Amino acid sequence: MKQKTQVADIDRSLYDFRFEEDAADFLSSGITPEIIREISEEKGDPAWMLEFRLKSLEIFSRMKMPVWGPPVDGLDMRNIVTYIRSKSRMNTDWNDVPEHIKETFERLGIPQAERESLAGVGAQYDSELVYHNVRKEVAESGVVYTDLESAMHDPQYAEIIRTHFMKLVPPTDHKFAALHGAVWSGGSFVYVPAGVRLDIPLQSYFRLNAKGAGQFEHTLIILEENSDLHFIEGCSAPKYYEAGLHAGCVELYVGKGAKLRYSTIENWSKNMYNLNTKRAVVEEGGRIEWVSGSFGSHVSYLYPMSILNGRGASAEFTGITFAGEGQNLDTGAKIVHNAPETASHIDTKSISKSGGISTFRSAVTVHENAVGSRSSVSCESLMLDGRSRSDTLPVMDIRTDKCDIGHEAKIGRISDDAVFYLMSRGMDEQAARAMIVSGFAGNVSKELPLEYAVEMNNLIRLEMTGTVG
CA distances (Å), origin 206, targets 90, 235, 350, 430, 460: 13, 11, 28, 36, 24
Q: Is 10 in the site for other proteins (CB under 8 A)?
A: yes
Print the binding letters for residues 104-133 with other proteins: x by CB under 8 A, - otherwise.
Answer: ------------------------------
Nearer to other proteins, 114 or 391 (CB): 391
Q: CA torsion angle for 269, 275, 276, 282 (degrees, to 10)?
A: 140
Of 179, 182, 307, 432, the one binding other proteins (CB under 8 A) is 432
Contact residue for other proteins among 68, 107, 111, 132 (CB under 8 A):
68
- 402-431 residues near other proteins, rule: CB under 8 A: 402-413, 415-418, 420-429, 431
Site stretch for other proteins (CB under 8 A), options 121-129, 137-145, 291-299, 436-444:
436-444
Evaluate whether 254 touches 281 at the Cβ level (below 8 Å): yes
Residue 274 Cβ vs other proteins, minimum distance, rounded to whole Å: 18
In whole angstroms, give the CA distance from residue 262 to residue 293: 11
The answer to the question of residue 337 lying near other proteins (CB under 8 A) is no
Distance of CA 58 to the CA centre of its chain: 25
Among the listed ranges 221-229, 271-279, 433-441, 447-455, the one in contact with other proteins (CB under 8 A) is 433-441
**Close Cβ partners of 372 (under 8 Å, ≥ 6 residues apart):** 340, 341, 402, 403
- Asked if 439 interacts with other proteins (CB under 8 A), we say yes
Question: Is 136 a residue that touches other proteins (CB under 8 A)?
Answer: no
Q: Is 194 in the site for other proteins (CB under 8 A)?
A: no
Query: Within 11-30, which residues bind other proteins (CB under 8 A)?
Result: 11, 14-15
> Angle CA(276)–CA(189)–CA(239) in degrees, nearest 5?
45
Binding mask 440-469 for other proteins (x = CB under 8 A): xxxx-x------------------------
Residue whose CB is less far from other proteins, 167 or 413: 413
Q: Which is nearer to other proteins, 28 or 438 (CB)?
A: 438
- Contact status, residue 413 vs residue 448, Cβ threshold 8 Å: no
Determine, following the binding rule CB under 8 A, whether residue 1 of this chain makes contact with other proteins.
yes
Of 238, 136, 137, 253, nearest in space to 194 by CA: 253
**Which 342-401 residues touch other proteins, going by CB under 8 A?**
361, 363, 365, 368, 371, 381, 383-386, 388-401
Judged by beta carbon, residue 79 or residue 375, the one nearer other proteins is: 375
61-69, 194-202, 249-257, 337-345 -> range binding other proteins (CB under 8 A): 61-69
